[in-house]
Structure 1
Amino acid sequence: MLPDTIPFAPVRELAEQIRTRRLSPVELAEIYLDRLESIGPRLGAVVTVMREAALEEARERERELRRGRWRGPLHGIPYGAKDLLATRNAPTTWGAAPYKDQRFDYDATVIRRLREAGAVLVAKLAMIELAGGMGYNEASASFTGPCRTPWNLNYWSGGSSSGPGAAVAAGLVAFAIGSETSGSIITPAAFCGVAGLRPTYGLVSRHGAMALSWTLDKLGPMCRTADDCGLVLAAIAGPDPLDPTTRDVKFSYPFRRRAMPLRRLRIAVMKDSYEKAQREVRENFLRALDVLRRFAAVEMDVALPDFPYGPAVGTIVDAEGASAFRDLIESGRVRELASPQGRVGGYAASLVTAVDYLHAMRMRAPMRRAWAAMFKKYDVLVAPSRSTVAYPLDKPFNQAYPGIAASSPIGASNLVGVPAISVPNGFGQSDLPTGIQFIGPAFSENLLIEVAHRYQQMTAWHERHPKLS
């Protein structure tokens, strides 16, 4: 493996190099730490570089290899965590000025499980303040400033997992952990040209993660490839007594990978998801469908079950977010937030009535039933990950691309708690990446990874990386 290709190598390749002692965990950690320190500030992607702690962990992983112990495919692999995950040995800022000195004396379950799998935490990564819970309309809604996609530094990397998306794309970490409430993994994955997997609600423990909306929040991997997402998800998934919302569901993804035997899949293209998207987004999506037709039956323009998804998501996030940040709102310290909208959004969210919240929550049961019925007819739903490329830094989001009105299943699929994965499928305006997302029924992560992996085997978009020095 050439030195200049190491930062962009998939986890599977790095793992084999480490397992066979051709690559040292310490050497690999130093490569990523140097990039975090030299490139990270240019992107606004990093909150804390954990050099001392990371090198200590990497040395221990190396000692284990000398003793003949290999923990698995994440042994010695450096990664970054969105800065809403509690870590004992670094601040956990939630991306917000009122919490910039916050520390916890424990690790989030995901952090602990990754350490047990042998992964090496090298950085806490930037995020939109409070994961966007108070509202925002600009890329600078973080106390660390705007995070930039490494494909074009004049454009945003996407939120709220802005740092994880940019860091993976720029080769600052081998993989990252992001979070999603209503689009915060899928969006930066698309804007940065990486793979991002949002798991089924309840598959991954959220113990130690900042709560925005406890009935919607999910943690998931952001990686170079769909295959890498499977390797990481296998390490972090599973029930946790510290998170009572987790389900007793097993997820496995072996290092010695075999293609999943698939009958001819039935893939549904979501109606109105691409027709009014940016021209390049639309064209890239239609070309991607041609690839999918090589191994699946693709049915065009399938309508989602008819429910008011947008208002329901908004009501639930407002009510639960206002509760989660009640102390911050009532203290008045929201005035310290970077976003002008965020400084006042909590007050409006606090006015959501119990009647409205309960009505929105009750609608989720018939939504889930309708989606379950839809997935009896179709195996996978497909749509553009986003209807545009990344937003420019110098414009409010709502002024970035006027006239683009394509709908997205992101909010709806989050409401019903089903998984999705986004992978790159081309480039659009300003040489920015575009993405395609696959959505499946609850706990169908293996199927989604297999479909996305097959697509990536037939294309090469995931093999491109931005030119940074």
Structure 2
Amino acid sequence: MAQAQASLLDLNGLLRSGSVKARDVIRRAVQALEAEGARDGSVRQILEREAMSAARGVERELSRGRTRGLLQGAPFGVSELLQVSGRPPFWNADVHPRQVEDAAAVSRLRGAKAIPLAVLSSPPPGAAEFWRSGGADPCAAAVGRRLLPFAIGLDFNGNVLRSALRHGCWALRPTFGTVSGFGTAPVSWTLAAVTPVAGTPEDCGHVLAAMSGGDSRCFHSPGRTFRFVPQYTRLPRKLLVAEGASVPALSAALAKAGISIDAAPHSKELSGDVLDIVLAAEAGEAMEDEMLSSAEGRELLEQARELTAFDYLRAMRLRREVQEWLNAALDGSDAVIFPAVSLAEPEADAAPQKWLATALIAGTPVVAFGGGQGLPAFCLTGRAGAENSLLKLAAALREAAAPSGGS
């Protein structure tokens, strides 16, 4: 599907020029989803009728010269861990379909005239693969196979990031709270973040900008909107390189982009343990009924029940220590880059896994790229609110690694 392979900027240009009609984009995406997505069960439901109606509205607006931004008319996928109106979520299956609202992220994307086309399946919470971090999220599979221009998932333990690494996509896990958690599965109320997956870092930035903003229905919403402004963002000039990240292709791209590097300190040893405790306690409490549905889920739930209030509160206090350590480690530097080839697998190498766990429990943004375009797989993280800087750096590395020096 040619339109799914195009960036949001290119697709929007085709729609605005009239070279491609919005309904044609939807038809081709539906054909691809039916042919490829149904084969492995990654597509739970195709919202064709609703999407065609929305596409017809986009065509009417464009014919009148009304443009709504780069997402106008772009189809996208939604993880089953986010609510879609009219479809009872698996964690509250008894609710009447008419009472189901869109998750805040989905609602805001609709407001930007993007078109939700597919609900992407997720392993049941009682299954062990749901809690493993290795490529269980379906969003990157749909984007990586060029079925959709972008998709949004719920990252709670690096699951979306790892899936993007496995399928050669870009993913942006934002600073915790940037996107409202209203309408998302109650997997972890202090870890989970709605995360876009797309074909370019710029597309991730545009999608995040459309989803972000305050929401009184979500207690951790900070009440501010993320604005993707690469044209006004300074390119990071000093980068900390974690152990193993200085592979030749990456080092060459950093040098070509004019970025100085320094060795990163070893990440916090306790980060992984803190992540496990927080996730087990919060998910076990909120999703007890769903986890009881299988033997694997019951085993995981029993482990969660062994945790005490002391364990959880201590883990939450240690999270603050990790946040302070990360800020201190970044003193004088703009970001950290760490290798990510092994992170695509459930049992990752110790050093990359610790860096990822540090970023997750600190709530800082993470950009992940699965490799290609002359670059190896890598992840970037930085201070809270540093999404623009990380995306600018990601785009600069991609351009520096391109054979012609361009994107």
- Same-fold status (TM-score > 0.5): yes
Give me the whole-angstrom Cα distance separating, in 1, the residues matched to 2:204 and 2:290: 35
Residue number in structure 2 paired with 1:228: 203
Deviation readout 1:281-333 (Å, 9 max, x if unpaired): x78x44212211222101135322x341111111111111111113445xx4x
Aligned partner (choices 33, 53, 59) of residue 50 of structure 2: 53
The 1:354–1:79 alpha-carbon spacing in structure 2 relative to 1, beyond 3 Å, is same
Map residues 447-458 of structure 1 onto 2, 5 A cutoff.
447-458=389-400
Aligned partner (choices 34, 38, 42) of residue 39 of structure 2: 42
The 1:101–1:164 alpha-carbon spacing in structure 2 relative to 1, beyond 3 Å, is farther
Residue number in structure 2 paired with 1:31: 28
Map residues 334-413 of structure 1 onto 2, 5 A cutoff.
334-335=293-294, 341-387=296-342, 405-408=350-353, 409-413=355-359
Contact 2:133 2:158 in 1 (8 A): no
SS at match of 2:231: coil
Aligned partner (choices 111, 121, 125) of residue 126 of structure 1: 121
Give me the whole-angstrom Cα distance separating, in 1, the residues matched to 2:253 and 2:189: 37
Code of the aligned partner of 1:287: A
Tell me by how many angstroms 1:364 deviates: 1.3
Q: CA RMSD in A?
A: 2.7
Tell me by how many angstroms 1:135 deviates: 6.6
Code of the aligned partner of 2:286: A
Contact 1:93 1:102 in 2 (8 A): no
Residue number in structure 1 paired with 2:261: 298
The 1:261–1:372 alpha-carbon spacing in structure 2 relative to 1, beyond 3 Å, is closer
Give me the whole-angstrom Cα distance separating, in 1, the residues matched to 2:161 and 2:185: 19
SS at match of 1:64: helix
Aligned partner (choices 268, 273, 284) of residue 240 of structure 2: 268
Unaligned runs of 5+ in 1: 143-155, 275-281, 392-396, 462-469
The 1:33–1:88 alpha-carbon spacing in structure 2 relative to 1, beyond 3 Å, is same
Aligned residues: 400
Code of the aligned partner of 2:265: V
Contact 2:242 2:265 in 1 (8 A): yes
Give me the whole-angstrom Cα distance separating, in 1, the residues matched to 2:200 and 2:185: 27
Give me the whole-angstrom Cα distance separating, in 1, the residues matched to 2:89 and 2:44: 9
Q: Say whether 1:414 aligns with 2:360.
A: yes
Give me the whole-angstrom Cα distance separating, in 2, the residues matched to 1:343 and 1:364: 27
SS at match of 2:78: strand
SS at match of 1:376: coil
Q: Say whether 1:116 aligns with 2:116.
A: no
The 1:17–1:48 alpha-carbon spacing in structure 2 relative to 1, beyond 3 Å, is same
SS at match of 1:32: helix
SS at match of 2:65: coil
Aligned partner (choices 436, 448, 462) of residue 378 of structure 2: 436
SS at match of 2:370: strand
Residue number in structure 2 paired with 1:466: none
Residue number in structure 2 paired with 1:107: 102
Contact 1:212 1:321 in 2 (8 A): yes
Q: Say whether 1:189 aligns with 2:135.
A: no
Aligned partner (choices 264, 268, 280) of residue 318 of structure 1: 280
Tell me by how many angstroms 1:229 deviates: 0.6
Larger fraction in helix: 2
Give me the whole-angstrom Cα distance separating, in 2, the residues matched to 1:5 and 1:311: 44
Tell me by how many angstroms 1:406 deviates: 4.4
Give me the whole-angstrom Cα distance separating, in 1, the residues matched to 2:373 and 2:12: 29
The 1:320–1:373 alpha-carbon spacing in structure 2 relative to 1, beyond 3 Å, is same
Residue number in structure 1 paired with 2:83: 86
Code of the aligned partner of 2:307: V
The 1:42–1:434 alpha-carbon spacing in structure 2 relative to 1, beyond 3 Å, is farther
Contact 1:61 1:118 in 2 (8 A): yes
Code of the aligned partner of 1:355: F
Tell me by how many angstroms 1:127 deviates: 2.1
Contact 2:373 2:398 in 1 (8 A): no
Code of the aligned partner of 1:113: R
Give me the whole-angstrom Cα distance separating, in 1, the residues matched to 2:57 and 2:89: 24
The two structures have a TM-score, normalised by structure 1, of 0.79
Q: Say whether 1:423 aligns with 2:377.
A: no
Give me the whole-angstrom Cα distance separating, in 2, the residues matched to 1:80 and 1:290: 35
Residue number in structure 2 paired with 1:180: 155
Code of the aligned partner of 2:276: G
Tell me by how many angstroms 1:29 deviates: 1.0
Tell me by how many angstroms 1:23 deviates: 1.7
Moved segments of 4+, more than 6 Å:
none
Residue number in structure 2 paired with 1:278: none
SS at match of 1:178: strand
Contact 2:165 2:377 in 1 (8 A): yes
Code of the aligned partner of 2:179: V
Q: Say whether 1:288 aligns with 2:235.
A: no
Aligned partner (choices 283, 290, 308) of residue 270 of structure 2: 308
The 1:456–1:99 alpha-carbon spacing in structure 2 relative to 1, beyond 3 Å, is farther
Aligned partner (choices 67, 70, 88) of residue 70 of structure 1: 67
Residue number in structure 1 paired with 2:140: 165
SS at match of 2:337: strand
Contact 1:157 1:165 in 2 (8 A): no
